[in-house]
Amino acid sequence: MTVSVLGLGAMGTALAAAFVRAGQPTTGWNRSPEKTEAAAGLGVVRAETVADAVGDAELVVVCLLDHAAVREVLEPVAAQLTGRVLLNVTNGTAEQVREVAAWAAEHGASYVDGGIMAIPPSIGQAESVVLYSGSREAYDRWAGPLGAWGTGTFLGEDPGLAALHDLALLGAMYGMFAGAFHATAMVGTEGVAAGRFTTELLVPWLHSMVDVLPMLADAEVTAEQRLVEQVALANIIGTAAAQGVPGRLTAPLKSLVAGI
Ligand code: FVH
């Protein structure tokens, strides 16, 4: 079974290289030819054009910046996609995904969407989770070769499900990052080095708090807990302001945690 990867940025190259390492012949195309050259050095067969890349590939993977780029790249080769499986791992909203899935169906292609919960250097490790949704039949057909990327989880036949879960998980990640940067800025006002604070205190603290999440997921928050949280958040906001750290992140947290 032949595969193509359209888009050989950091992630597309990692995905194509993982296929090659697993013994899967893989053709790649990228808008800027130098990235195609770099991927060729990893064993990816170079395609000069999108049409050449799609060629007779049974699985066409699309890994581009956004959905505008997906439409721009795929529309000229729409007629070639009939009978193929289109696997789109480009970040997008659930609505954008449903639109491109409907467009693929109009052109006779099976559509699977992918949400990659990993960074390029982790591709190929079992810990790298890829969320899938869309055509169950097409996913099942390709689940074996896709195992080269990491652990696949199929979420359902609504094509937007993978994007919904992907964006929810990314939102949690960005919230954590923002909180971490805020913490670093707070102690930084007293000259505490960000690297040491992060390694010695912040990371172990966040690890221990992550373990509490399953308990919080279904728990009723008591009035006493709410009061304790409100006092702590008021102190965080007050201290940050006194230390000259902007309150754009923490001020809304107080009302969010209070449920208002
Ligand atoms: N990198 C990561 O950690 C995350 C992990 C989770 C999944 N994301 C998503 O993967 C998509 C690609 O991300 P990437 O890391 O490969 O990004 P870049 O290295 O910046 O490559 C972007 C590629 O998109 C091509 N491109 C952009 N616009 C167009 C266009 N109009 N026509 C054709 N190609 C286009 C770009 O081409 P070029 O600039 O090299 O010519 C790159 O191949 C993304 O959705 C992440 O959210 C990665």
CATH number for the domain spanning 92: value is: 3.40.50.720
Ligand 1 atom closest to the CA of 117, numbered from 1: 6
Same domain, 33 and 143: yes
* pLDDT tens digits along 5-45: 999 999 999 999 999 999 999 999 999 999 999 999 999 99
Segment 138-173, tens digit of pLDDT: 999 999 999 999 999 999 999 999 999 999 999 999
- Among 157, 180, 213, the domain-final residue is 157
Residue 239, pLDDT above cutoff 80: yes
Residues 215 and 118 in one domain: no
Percent of the chain with pLDDT over 90: 87
Last residue of a domain, which of 104, 128, 157? 157
DSSP character at residue 120 = G
Domain that holds residue 30: 3-157
∠ CA 108-109-110 to the nearest 5 degrees?
Answer: 125
Task: Indicate the top mutation candidate among 11, 70, 87, 117 to test ligand 1's pocket, ranked by most ligand atoms within 8 A of CB.
Answer: 11
Rg (CA), the chain: 22
Q: Which of 41, 35, 45, 46 is nearest to 12 (CA)?
A: 35
Do residue 66 and residue 138 come from a single domain? Answer: yes
Kindly state the helix (H) or strand (E) to which residue 177 belongs, with its residue range. Answer: helix 161-188
Regarding whether 188 and 72 lie in a shared domain, the answer is no
Residues 181 and 121 in one domain: no
Q: Cα 199 vs. chain centroid, distance in angstroms?
A: 25
Ligand 1 centroid to 187 CA: how many Å?
35
Beta strands in the chain (DSSP E): 3-6, 26-29, 45-46, 59-62, 85-88, 110-117, 129-134, 151-154
Give the whole-angstrom CA distance, residue 106 versus residue 120. Answer: 32
- Please check whether residues 10 and 51 belong to one and the same domain: yes
Q: How many helical (H) and strand (E) elements, i.e. helices and strands, does the chain have?
A: 12, 8
Whether 45 and 26 have beta carbons less than 8 Å apart is answered as: yes
Mean pLDDT of 71-100: 98
CA of 215 to the centre of ligand 1 (A): 37
What is d(CA 90, CA 75) in angstroms, rounded to the nearest whole number? 16
Q: For tokens 């008021």, name the residue.
A: 234
Domain boundary among 134, 157, 180: 157
* DSSP state letter for 65: S
- Do 124 and 36 share a domain, yes or no? yes
Residue nearest to atom 29 of ligand 1 (CA): 69
User: Into how many domains does the chain fold?
Assistant: 2
Which residues line the pocket of ligand 1, CB cutoff 6 A?
7-12, 30-32, 35, 63-65, 69, 72-73, 90-91, 116, 119-120
Average pLDDT over residues 196-215: 96
Strand 129-134 to 26-29 pairing: unpaired
Q: Three-class SS of residue 107?
A: coil
What is the CATH classification number for the domain harbouring 214?
1.10.1040.10
Is the pLDDT at 243 greater than 80? The verdict is yes
pLDDT in tens, 209-238: 999 999 888 888 788 888 888 999 999 999
Beta bridge partners of 27: 4, 45
pTM (two decimals):
0.94
Task: Identify whether residues 49 and 143 lie together within a single domain.
Answer: yes
> Do 132 and 31 belong to one domain?
yes
Q: What is the pLDDT of residue 260?
A: 64
The answer to whether 94 and 120 have CB atoms below 8 angstroms apart is no
User: What are the tokens at 11?
Assistant: 């992630």
- 115-136 average pLDDT score: 98
Residue 57 and residue 149 share a domain? yes
Residues 178 and 144 in one domain: no
| Whether residue 232 sits in one domain with residue 200 | yes
